[in-house]
Structure 1
């Protein structure tokens, strides 16, 4: 099942996709453009992965990490489908990053890799923009690279885990102003979803609503003010975002 969170006429609704448009939880049908899209879940702790695809690490001239390179993101970073993200005036490299976002469904502590996927409630799409002018070194990214307001579109849908047969075999694509500029597959992750959950839960407790952003494949290029960026993951939909000043 696919669900979304949207604002309509001053209220927040859970919405589902139908052939007749977006169906709100009050039974009303509306068009996609008539609502304000919110992140499909309210994120708790967000863990994000750096350099989790071999080709992306090579693209940035970094060595692939020997263990997961994890950083945290604040709730200020998230914005919904069809939202806008500001390009700072002092940077020259603002890159999109199409990522599979994994949502935890229950508390996890010392979970084995074999049982890890049992703790996933579902998946959504993240576009985790990187402002690479602020990058300092391999042990990246610092706060200014990955924690700017509205810098991580999330959505549009939350898709139940049972509806995704294999999260490690999904095609990812990014379109810049209608042209495909990035394509890859989750099968090329260095650390898969199950191993990331096992790794994180080995030294800290994960909770319901926590999110893991699993990294991006190669193909990131600079974006400009006015650009429309669409990130797409097989089975999860298309997430639209616009760059503004």
Structure 2
């Protein structure tokens, strides 16, 4: 393909996450239809915590690699939003722990999940992939694979989760993890698009950035498939 102009590149990046977007996954559909129990949601939280608990240091590594001062400023805003140094209890990992407790899963159980052999291979792969993007891959691939592919899905995915959880009786405070991502990640995805455009200076770089979006979306879809197999299909059998 020829090098795309800015708008066409943005469109291509966003289109790349659609075929394997998490919103289309059967597990998401079950969640949206209220077919998951609190126990199952708590088990999802264990897997998801392992995946996202290291997002702040991953963003810090990406920030340290960022050569562009504008890019560093944009990434710092993301990092502070994840870590919440002025209110540590509001960090995204801690908000997810709060949701897990609301599902009946203790913080100790969540934190001990790896040592207890509870972490699925797809969840491990997802976390490792983000480390690879943040620390090794070129910046245009890193920003595409993390911010566009993953954060970019949440503003449309999490409202489905929230609506179902409210019907189950979860409070707004217990759902803060989901609300904060709906509020913040539209901006984070837009930042990712800007950074991709700044660093993908060639046709090949654009192609690899688009492929990073496709790869991240596919890996998260696979992670959900493993979670569904453990929590839903195995119980049905």
Q: TM-score range by the shorter chain?
A: under 0.3
Larger RCO of the pair (alpha carbons < 8 Å, separation 6+): 2
Structure 2 length-normalised TM: 0.24
Instruction: Please identify which structure carries the higher helix content.
Output: 2
Q: Give the TM-score taking structure 1 as reference length.
A: 0.23
